[in-house]
Structure 1
């Protein structure tokens, strides 16, 4: 990064944040604090209203705003592909806004950059890993409702279908939760929320929700909770060991199973190791590969697969 680029980047950083220390700028741009002092002096002499306070840092005078900057073809492609992603995966409001943003970005690009960006975009396409992962209209509707509830700090209520039945054989329940945030995981939107039924933070797939409504009741987000830093407790304590036919090794690797932890190539085939909460989480996946896979551990899961195979045989 040359000096001119660094000066512009410093202004953008000051515009993005209220106060920035010289030490932080030096670390960000991989230069010395003395160089940052000289850069700030140069910007001040050029008319940029930078305010410096000893022991606090630098800030821009209130009301100052840098006019729109130009984009390189690569930067334009990054932004335009971002709008494509939002149109695919976000709710209707953001789909419309993404289209508007794309038009504005394209409008300010010089003709040469616009053509280059268009050529690059024609060589790329965003596709879900599974066609069924394309967001449905109901999922988009729920995404918008939950997103607004998070901003309003209001609780939501919905019927939820568990993947695996509880100890009493029930798969459906009504949940009232305080929504903390949304995460896109393996192509599916997940709600991170404090569940009143379980009295702890739980995760809920939007595709398993029904009859979602926003309530009038408000909630307070815990002071120390940050979605970006949040890591759910790992309660997958059951280890599953599976032997895989070498002929389908590539297919197994491409399946990108969420519970897969490790794989080892051995003389007798590919050994795959999984960690799950319940073996039911792997049941359909294992059965789907037929005789090409064999469960080695635990013994209870081997017996369950055997029972399912016998039941299948009876149907034929």
Structure 2
């Protein structure tokens, strides 16, 4: 049963070559199982799928990228990508062209992440595959650092900016579910919950705070208060 669940995962999350092999393996496993166990395994797998229904599925384009990246990593070939950054530059531009030494891939909360050394930044960076709009495997080779091990790798904690919000206690659980990674401390008071966040830039919380609506108030920093006000005014003008 564990092997069958594993084939489901591979077919849904990895590229087409692995998906085809996973289907063949599943058929062979199911063929040798007694019928009662095969039926039970089918019911368990359907139930497990329901538990993960809210996670983003790996799209066809990402699966294609996975196949190319997997081969580039094994062959130690550099890649060139067009990448949509989460936070735009001062001029509003989000698009960036990068050459990267691909070190490995990680599935984080349903999203595939490429870890590699970025030539532009001269350091290891993380790239979400869903934000890659173009990918080319180059005829250039790189040398994997001897001291790099994906299993032992831990990204540096560079979340040095602090944000404080005051929230309606009724949505405290919603905030914890959607922004747990950024949360530092939660202080419960009679009329509100005060939540401290630690981020790389306050902009990282902008869209989350807007999604919480009038049930939250940014206390600090003042720059984020101004950004929330600007976005609220833009929304108001549309209605």
Give the TM-score taking structure 2 as reference length. Answer: 0.90
**How far is 1:277 from its partner?**
1.1
**How far is 1:286 from its partner?**
0.6
Tell me if structure 1 keeps the 8 A contact 2:164–2:194: yes
User: How far apart are the structure 2 equivalents of 1:91 and 1:261?
Assistant: 37
**How far is 1:313 from its partner?**
2.7
Aligned to 2:33: 109
TM-align CA RMSD: 2.0
User: How far apart are the structure 2 equivalents of 1:110 and 1:300?
Assistant: 64
Q: Which has the higher contact order (CA 8 A, sep 6+)?
A: 2
Deviation string 1:253-292 (CA, Å, 9 cap, x unpaired) is 3335542334333212222222211111111111112111
More strand by share: 2
Report whether the alignment pairs 1:193 with 2:116: yes
User: How far apart are the structure 2 equivalents of 1:307 and 1:237?
Assistant: 24
Out of 189, 199, 206, the position equivalent to 1:283 is 206
**How far is 1:112 from its partner?**
4.5
Tell me if structure 2 keeps the 8 A contact 1:162–1:208: yes
Aligned to 1:296: 219
User: What are the equivalent positions in structure 2 for 1:105-254 lying under 5 Å apart?
Assistant: 105-126=29-50, 127-130=52-55, 133-167=56-90, 169-254=92-177
| Local SS of the residue matching 1:125 | helix
Give the TM-score taking structure 1 as reference length. Answer: 0.69
Tell me if structure 1 keeps the 8 A contact 2:83–2:134: no
User: What are the equivalent positions in structure 2 for 1:8-19 lying under 5 Å apart?
Assistant: none
Moved beyond 4 Å, runs of 4+: none
5+ residue gaps, structure 2: none
Deviation string 1:165-188 (CA, Å, 9 cap, x unpaired) is 235543212111110000111211
Deviation string 1:39-78 (CA, Å, 9 cap, x unpaired) is xxxxxxxxxxxxxxxxxxxxxxxxxxxxxxxxxxxxx2x2
Deviation string 1:18-55 (CA, Å, 9 cap, x unpaired) is xxxxxxxxxxxxxxxxxxxxxxxxxxxxxxxxxxxxxx
Deviation string 1:211-261 (CA, Å, 9 cap, x unpaired) is 211111111111111001001111111111112112223332333554233
Out of 235, 255, 265, the position equivalent to 2:178 is 255
Aligned to 1:63: none
User: What are the equivalent positions in structure 2 for 1:7-86 lying under 5 Å apart?
Assistant: 76=1, 78-86=2-10
Tell me if structure 2 keeps the 8 A contact 1:129–1:187: no
Tell me if structure 2 keeps the 8 A contact 1:128–1:187: no
**How far is 1:118 from its partner?**
3.2
Seen in structure 2, the aligned counterparts of structure 1 residues 263 and 109 have a Cα distance that, compared at 3 Å, is: farther
5+ residue gaps, structure 1: 1-75
